[in-house]
Amino acid sequence: MPQNINQPSNQIRLTNVSLVRLKKGKKRFEIACYKNKVLEYRSGVETDLDNVLQIPSVFLSVSKGQTAPIQDLAKAFGPKISVNDIIMEILNKGEMQVGEKERHAQLERVHNEVIDIVAGKLVDPRSKRVYTAGMIDKALDQLSSQGGAAHKPDEGKGSGTATPTNGGPEKEKAKEMPTWTGVVTTKSAKSQALDAMKALIAWQPIPVSRARMRLRITCPPSILKQAAKGPMTKDVQEDVADGGGDKLAGTVKDRILSYVEQVETQDTMGQEWETVGFVEPGAFRGLAEFVGGETKGRGRVEVLDMAVTHEGD
């Protein structure tokens, strides 16, 4: 005769999970998440918790299927905090536990994303041509293998290694320059790509400069003061925030200028407002779509130069 196996009511068996742990008070609490989703949530790629959590419960031990008693949660987090708020705190502040194979896959994915971002934003200043991902990867590998820095081509005519000179001022200057030691999984790909570009530009293991498109943007003045209808994209919000601007800019003019990294000229002539400035190639499509949609075709975005190079940020 078949026998019934009774499983304790506070035990839930889960498999194929990524654990996020947080020690609060004297106890350690865990939540069970889908693999690869925690980093996507923390970076803002994934916003739906149902796609992140395998089950909306807090555990003392996921491997044993032991959920945390309400009394333990109240004692550690406070009696008035909800289980959902506790889960959010663990998800945002907890330490993520992953297996070796998953950790390697995460590192490779972030590494490839960083290389793609850098390769799309740097050019050879002599030819104004972009480098391949392989060349950027090799240059960054050179920096990381030499402790985050490398001699510039015109300086290291000897062995080419990153051995610092004995000169006081030069040595101090080298210490202040940005370095690159490799990709990590604890930071976003975009922030690491910015660090990588700064190190490449500072040390020049290959000749590089940041690439910009030089554009002319025109728009009827009557539209400029109108409130922008479409939401600002996440990438533009981050770029504006990095530049110290107002990421909540709400008028059409403010939104247009949020795409422009450097304004060269800006003027109103009769029934037309015009600005000439520099925009990252990756922002061109979003800017063109925004201007076309907000002005119903009355505004224009013209490319004056495809690759204007800048030596620094």
Residue pLDDT, tens place only, 146-177: 876 665 554 444 434 444 445 555 556 666 78
Low-confidence ranges of the chain (pLDDT < 50): 1-7, 154-165, 240-248, 311-313
pLDDT value, residue 313: 43
pTM above 0.85, yes or no: no
| pLDDT at residue 163 in the model | 43
Q: 213 has which bridge partners?
A: 279
Long-range residue pairs from 222-226, CB within 8 A, at least 24 positions apart, any chain: 223/252, 223/294, 223/295, 223/298, 223/299, 224/251, 224/252, 224/253, 224/273, 225/251, 225/252, 225/253, 226/251, 226/252, 226/294
pLDDT at position 36: 74
Contact by Cβ (8 Å): 309, 218: no
pLDDT digits (tens, 9 = 90+) for 80-127: 899 999 999 999 999 887 767 777 888 899 999 999 999 988 888 888
pLDDT at 7: 47
Centroid of chain to Cα 193: 8
Selection from 194, 198, 196, 162 nearest residue 182 by Cα? 196
Between the two ends of the chain, the Cα-to-Cα distance in Å is: 76
Q: Are the beta carbons of 182 and 214 closer than 8 angstroms?
A: no
Residue 44 · residue 60 · CB < 8 Å: no
> How many C-alpha atoms does 211 have within 13 Å on its Cβ side?
25
Cα 259-262-265 angle, rounded to 5 deg: 105
Q: What is the dihedral of CA 72, 73, 78, 79, to 10 degrees?
A: -90
| Cα distance between residue 267 and residue 33, in whole Å | 53
